[in-house]
Amino acid sequence: MSLIRTMVFLLLLVPGVGMTAELAPSTLVIQPQRIIILPVRDATYTETSLFLHETDPRPIAIRTLETRLEHGLKNTLADFHNAERISGKTLKSRVTKNPQFSGAIQAIEEHLHAGENAYKNMDLPKSLEELNMASTLGMQQDLDILQPELLGKIEFLKGLALLEQGKTARAHIAFKGAIQFEPHHGRIQGYFPTAVEEAMMVALQELKTRQTPELEHDPQRLANLLKRLHADQLLMPTILGTGIQKTLRLVVFDRHRKGIVFRATFPLGSPLKDQDQIERAISRWRTCTIVETEGDIPTRKSSRFHVDTNFTHGVFLAHPTRQPMQNLGLTLQAGWMALDNLEISGTFSSHFSLADSFGDQEGGMTSLRTSLGTAFVLRSGLWRIYLRPALEMHRIGRLRVITDAHCKFFGVEHPACPTGSVTDLDETILWGLHAGMGASMDLGKHLQINLGIGFSGYLVSEESELNHFFTSELGIGYQF
């Protein structure tokens, strides 16, 4: 009984402590979010020229459209006091001053130069070894996001070396990477062999028909990158389109939420129209942004309710039958997030017993089970993992168990029926502790799929014929 009293005390104490807050200060200082603005990425490849004429060796269009859109994004964000912009020179400065980045970039450039020299000396195995090391280090340091032009050069040299070895399939993959990282790097036409120009053109044509996903990067990877750069959000602008019509897609990733918090897509047209749409999109994003404030203020956690309906299979490991008593049932579980990782939850279940192969049960048994407790919750991406301790009451219905064949054939009153072969359960109430664990995966904004296991030990009712109830659950839930 002392264990149960302790559990009740903890259930009452923990939520109350977490919700205590002091009075708000008279003044609040808004802490702006640090936002990295990536260069506009052109994923249309419609104006990409891989090889330019020697009389006009400039990159195609000199990124006119991309530069105009980048200026529009930066200038618009400057009007919002809750946003601190990090772009261009500021981002490069942060990367250069960060010891982890600067040392890694130096090592990458050394491998790149070694691979380039080995290629010029026609030592292709050595060249590919150095270039692969440079590429691996670059991806580990997120240079595909921070300095894609460097990776583009590495992939192009890899493609040259692989093509020289006759490995056309792998060279094709490398050339696609080179174009993706550096879509507007114009090389002098006729400088490279015809086979190289043809292979690059094939890679470009394939990229033009490729559908660009909304977010190609792993959320945890982006969160780690923003943490290293001491930033809160990442604005990723991308130009999309497969024909003449182009669209601009804006995606904002938040480090603290580890997910996309804003997205907008609109067609591109005239400079004035494009700027107007950028301002409207940025306004919608920043107006709905929750900003941090300086000082201790009483913040009440927003109530987050969810209701789960699960099919339940249960087994009594301690039982009067000659085989474990199995049950099927339906469980209704409701939870309320009191704190970030603490949930108050209650369950109600209805079970009916399944017939055993020996036929020991005379008829079926219906039972009702209810519990109240807390759940310790951990979220990771789409997953929600929980550990749920609780107090439980289990009301057992009427059931007669006969384990002797003579009793079944002659009747329980017959002298041939031995004593102790008949067990009558008559609406017994079992009290004890329940421990459950499981995971839920989000299927959308509100729906989730649940999978869990649980164990109930009826410590207060140890003399009962039924005890040690093990359950497994599968069902769906709805988050409000």
Would you say 258 and 381 are in contact if contact means Cβ atoms under 8 Å apart?
A: yes
Alpha-carbon distance of 22 to 299, in angstroms, equals 9
Using CB atoms within 10 Å of the CB of residue 463, give its burial: 0 to 12 exposed, 13 to 18 middle, 19+ buried.
Answer: exposed
So what's the pLDDT on residue 182?
Answer: 85
Residue 137, phi then psi, degrees to nearest 5: -65, -35
Q: Which CATH class is domain 300-479?
A: mainly beta
Would you say 414 and 406 are in contact if contact means Cβ atoms under 8 Å apart?
A: yes
Torsional sign, CA 161, 164, 170, 175: positive
Alpha-carbon distance of 254 to 262, in angstroms, equals 9
How far from 123 is each of 132, 155, 162, 179, CA to CA, in Å? 14, 17, 12, 25
DSSP state of 60: G
> Could you list the mean pLDDT of each consecutive 10-residue stretch along the chain, which spans 480 residues?
45 41 46 85 79 62 77 88 80 77 87 92 92 91 86 92 90 90 80 87 83 68 89 90 81 90 90 92 80 45 77 92 90 90 93 87 88 91 90 90 84 83 83 94 87 91 84 92
> What are the residue ranges of helices labelled H in 141-260?
143-146, 148-164, 168-181, 194-208, 219-228
So what's the pLDDT on residue 62?
Answer: 53
How far from 419 is each of 319, 324, 402, CA to CA, in Å? 18, 22, 11
So what's the pLDDT on residue 473?
Answer: 95
Q: Name the nearest CA neighbour of 440 among 317, 340, 307, 338.
A: 307
For CATH 2.40.160.20, the residue range(s) in the chain are 300-479
Topology classification of domain 98-210? 1.25.40
Domain 27-47+61-87+213-296 has CATH 3.40.50.10610: yes
pTM of the complete model beyond 0.85: no
Would you say 365 and 377 are in contact if contact means Cβ atoms under 8 Å apart?
A: no
For CATH 3.40.50.10610, the residue range(s) in the chain are 27-47+61-87+213-296
So what's the pLDDT on residue 134?
Answer: 92
Place of tokens 């904002």: 252
Secondary structure (DSSP) of 275-292: HHHHHHHHHHHHHTPPPE
